[in-house]
Amino acid sequence: MQARVVHDKISTINPATGEVIHSYETTDLEQISRIVSNARTVFAKWKKKDVVQRCDYIRSLMKVLDKNKDQYSKTITQEMGKPIVQSFAEIEKCIWLCEYYCENAESFLQDQIIPTEFRKSFVSFEPLGIVVGIMPWNFPFWQAMRFIVPTLIAGNVAILKHSSVCIGSSLNIRDSLTAAGFPENVFQIVIGDYRAGEALVQSKIDAVSVTGSVSTGKRVAGLAARDLKKFVLELGGSDPFIVLEDADLNHTVPQAVHSRLLNTGQSCIAAKRFIVMKEIADKFTKLFVQNVKEEIVGDPMDKKTTVGPLVRDSQRQALIKQVDDSKLKQAEILLGGNIIDGSGYYYEPTVISNVNHEMDILREEVFGPAAPIVIVKNEAEAIMEANNSEFGLGASIWTSSSERGLRLAREIQTGVVKINEMVRSDPRLPFGGVKYSGIGRELSEFGIREFVNVKSIAVKDITTKLLVE
């Protein structure tokens, strides 16, 4: 396992070497109770600051993140194996997130006047209180920050329970907010496994945001629902990458490979099913395999590396099981399909054809560098195949006709559709899914309003008549 719980300690493991990085003491139940109590106390003061004041703290955070990009990137890569260039880009994206909300939060949270028969009627957006974030390991800074920044700007206080894989990143995040001058206890962390997360959700908090697996989302949602606490879930994905016969393959194929192998394929919005029109299937497949062969698998600390190790051996074993299942059911392995011997949890970038829905590789989320190619005859089959999944997070369509792409985009059952662009989260656009991919939205004005009380206020004049005897 990538993270081991031994009594009251958790050890993080470098997935490129299998060596222990550090051991950390976990947060016990008594400490969790104290953390929540401290959060409640500081919330009474934090919520009274106006949006402009809260944004000043976020601007300070931007400077801290920029100053420490190298250090934070190194922590990410050591803990979960992301190629260092991608880790650096992750920190830069967090800075963009901060900048975006500082520029827009005041307008997102200002009172909205609603014309009615009343003298005055409007909607106000008021903070809920204590919001817990239960976050995963695959984008340790980005996914935590996209929860933290809008939550704090909205006037809430935040508690982060990060994955046991990336405790060092969690501590870096805490230290960055401290260095930015945030008041004590406005942001706190809890260290532990799933039990710590469950204890937090059942404590006296007000809302919870979860990014993780479907099973984790269901468990947390069930616990939160007992006390009718608000929750947002961003869960798994099996994103279709639809290539129409008029697509420019010289542009499309490199993007297809990048979308599949970014973060060694460990992304909920990675392209996971390549749905290709029959007329161009052979050409697409040939170019795709050629491009995958050019990827550089190696030490994630090397700037030339594009594919690193999987985060832990259990993750690699899950991928082996999915690929082996496809082999047994007569899929064709065009490239890869094997572990890479040596230290670390490496697996060959893999391309698979002749797949069907009896295979796990299409029915399940694939969190690793394996790409199944599905051939379809026409648009109707492409859309049917794209929607033939229990997930509905993202999708992309590749075509020379934007009008055609827009028409088909409306038929796809996902929260995000990109046309001639790989799926990525963007601070300016709402992010989230449908079906088993989650509930609610992050980012943009929709995300910052998930954890506020949308309050209607109306004022009616009363004319007082004097009684004359």
pLDDT per residue as tens digits for the range 383-412: 999 999 999 999 999 999 999 999 999 999
What are 300-342's pLDDT values in tens digits?
999 999 999 999 999 999 999 999 999 999 999 999 999 999 9
Q: What is the average per-residue pLDDT within 369-378? A: 98
Give the C-alpha separation, 363 to 378, whole Å.
Answer: 22
Q: 451 CB contacts (<8 Å, ≥6 apart)?
A: 127, 128, 131, 150, 151, 154, 156, 207, 209, 230, 232
Q: What are the angstrom distances between the C-alpha of 120 and each of 54, 106, 113, 459?
A: 28, 21, 8, 5
Q: Is 375 exposed, middle or buried (0-12, 13-18, 19+ CB in 10 A)?
A: buried
What are 150-182's pLDDT values in tens digits?
999 999 999 999 999 999 999 999 999 999 999
Q: Is the pLDDT reported for residue 185 higher than 90?
A: yes
> What is the pLDDT, as a whole number, of residue 233?
98
Give the C-alpha separation, 431 to 256, whole Å.
Answer: 21
| CATH number for the segment(s) 3-235+437-456 | 3.40.605.10
CATH 3.40.309.10, applies to 239-419:
yes
Query: Which run of H or E residues covers position 123?
Result: strand 120-127
> What is the pLDDT, as a whole number, of residue 431?
98
> What is the pLDDT, as a whole number, of residue 1?
37
Q: Is the pLDDT reported for residue 2 higher than 50?
A: no
Lowest mean per-residue pLDDT among 4-18, 198-212, 291-305: 4-18
Q: What is the average per-residue pLDDT within 18-47? A: 97
Shared fold status for 3-235+437-456 and 239-419: no
Q: What is the band of 6 on the pLDDT scale with cuts at 50, 70, 90?
A: very low
Q: Is the pLDDT reported for residue 4 higher than 80?
A: no
Lowest mean per-residue pLDDT among 61-70, 310-319, 330-339, 459-468: 459-468
Summary mean pLDDT of the chain: 96
What are 414-445's pLDDT values in tens digits?
999 999 999 999 999 999 999 999 999 999 99
> What is the pLDDT, as a whole number, of residue 466?
52
Q: Is the pLDDT reported for residue 464 higher than 90?
A: no
Q: What is the band of 462 on the pLDDT scale with cuts at 50, 70, 90?
A: confident
Q: What is the dihedral of CA 289, 295, 297, 300, to 10 degrees?
A: -140
> What is the pLDDT, as a whole number, of residue 296?
98
DSSP 3-state assignment of 432?
coil
- In this prediction the pTM is 0.95
Catalytic residue annotation:
234, 268
For the chain, what is the radius of gyration of the CA atoms? 24
Every domain of the chain and the residues it spans: 3-235+437-456, 239-419
> What is the pLDDT, as a whole number, of residue 203?
98
Q: What is the band of 137 on the pLDDT scale with cuts at 50, 70, 90?
A: very high
> What is the pLDDT, as a whole number, of residue 465?
58
